[in-house]
Amino acid sequence: MHRLVLLTVDVALIAISTVLAILLCSPLSPLSALVNAKLYFLVTIGVAIPVLWIFGLNRTVWRFTSLSDCWLILAASAWIVVFAITGNLAVGGIQAIRDMPQSLPVMQGLLILCMLAGVRAAMRLRHSLRRRARMAKSHFRDERENVLLVGLNPIADLFLRCAAENARGHIQIAGILSNAERHRGRSLRSCEILGPPEAAEDVLHDLSVHGIHIDRIVLSMPYAHLSRRAQTSLAEIERTRAIRVDCLSAQYGLSELISDSAAGVKEGGPDPTTGASAAAPAPAFGDGDLPASSYLRWKRVIDATGATMGIVCLAPLMLIIGVIVALDVGYPLIFWQQRPGAFGRPIRVLKFRTMRRPRDKNGRTLTDAQRVSRAGRLLRRLRLDELPQVYNVLLGHMSLVGPRPLLPVDQPSFSAARLRLRPGLTGWAQIKGGRHLSIEDKAALDLWYIRNASFTLDMLILLSTIRTVLFGERIDRRAIDQAWRELSS
């Protein structure tokens, strides 16, 4: 029965495609074109049913549509057009072909192909989004292991492909190290080549600044093929940082690597998002503690509208700040840092750069206080360095108001509860003490906001944020006590 439904849907799509093709090929007289092409339309529907049945398109599972299925759709579309022309000639004769626009078969074939392939692609996308949503609701933390890949060769390509297809929930490739300098800045399967193996220490430092902490280094090339300096650097990293260095070889297969990664997560190892044990229980926080679902839907609409208006209105100011940053600390202008977003999904939080390079001209390592420029201190004081996060709001990664996205090391012990909503540009904790509060007090205020979020409260927070930016942060002990009191009850 289900096959018959799929066949009916495909035939309906072909009928719609044929009508659109007729209208597009005869824009000046659409009604007369439809009347003249009614024979061609009926012949198309008549030949479409057996062609679809022969090619087995009604027996495919749409949500798992592959490239081979698209080739079948292309072949079926071509045969439908050929049989439609032949049937029209056989029934209506030469005059029927002359009355038909010459571009009609080509337009019809393209529309049929787009319709049949498009609806299958839409179903596959819908299934993928629903699966991600289910996974996000069941896992508040990002349990993937961050891996740094060393070597650029067919084995590295195979590893990346297998990790993407079979271990997406367990392995995240943070970057690649390649011996060839010309490869730097390029990418393999969307993984950026960060530098040579000799610079592994610097690469790990840069990634940690962005909030990415490497759990394992994987070699796709024999260890003996590395330079002496690269071998020394990797050995030092393994000794001092406790980062395991594995080599893909005949004795260590890819499937074993993936299963080991999965086992490490299941056995309650440290959580990469919070740094706490995965087995550590979190306080109960049910769906009843969330704001009304109707407001959450409107909240996303308000966020998108506000972000769009903000980008338009703040574009001149951000352009001026970009020029200041370029003159003060240089390129790149934007700094990103990976932080846990809603349901623990990692997001890239954008900011204007306020810190110089980690080393001076003599190669001496600078402290964070030495790296912050004067302009950078002013931008941080006025929160202007966080203006690029408006784009995070527009993309749906963040909200205008919500719990601030914290670094993994700053996550409270009950971080899962405060990750029930999208993180915000500003929040209840920011206007009630901000940087002067402890991690646990911030978390209590964030949970109070999650339970009491409303349009009125969001407007109050946005207006109070302006006052906080102008006059500084002040601890509101009454709000903190109220949050703890309601949480304990």
Chain segment 130-166, per-residue pLDDT in tens: 877 666 555 555 567 899 999 888 888 888 888 877 7
User: What per-residue confidence (pLDDT) applies to 194?
Assistant: 92
pLDDT of residue 116 exceeding 90, the answer is yes
Q: Report the alpha-carbon distance of residue 393 to residue 300 in Å, rounded.
A: 9
Q: What is the mean pLDDT of the chain?
A: 82
Higher pLDDT, 103 or 289: 103
Residue 1: the pLDDT is 54
Residue 277 has pLDDT above 50, yes or no: no
Which whole number is the average pLDDT over 73-87?
90
Contact indicator for 292, 285 with CB cutoff of 8 Å: no
- More confident of the two residues 396 and 286: 396
Is the predicted pLDDT of residue 225 greater than 60, yes or no?
yes
| Predicted pLDDT at 145 | 86
Q: What tens digit of pLDDT does each residue of 180-191 get?
A: 888 888 888 888
The model's confidence at residue 285, banded by pLDDT at 50, 70 and 90, is low
Cβ neighbours of residue 361 closer than 8 Å, sequence gap 6 or more:
none
User: For the chain, where do the domains classified as CATH 3.40.50.720 start and end?
Assistant: 145-266
Q: What span, in angstroms and rounded, lies between the C-alpha atoms of 348 and 369? A: 24
Q: Give the mean pLDDT of 27-37.
A: 78
In whole angstroms, give the CA distance from residue 200 to residue 245.
12
pLDDT tens for 375-390 read 888 998 888 999 999 9
Please give the DSSP secondary-structure letter assigned to residue 11: H
Comparing CA positions, the residue from 331, 387, 319, 320 lying closest to residue 357 is 331
Percent of the chain with pLDDT over 90: 27
CATH architecture for residues 145-266: 3-Layer(aba) Sandwich (3.40)
Model confidence at 413: pLDDT above 90: no
CA separation for the pair 451, 292 (Å, rounded): 9
For the ranges 64-78, 251-265, 362-376, the lowest mean pLDDT is seen at 251-265
Predicted local distance difference test score (pLDDT) of residue 415: 63
- Listed ranges 15-19, 21-25, 248-252, 364-368; the one with the highest mean pLDDT: 15-19
Q: 3-class SS at 219? A: strand
Confidence label for 363 from pLDDT (cuts 50, 70 and 90): confident
pLDDT band with cut points at 50, 70 and 90 for residue 464: very high
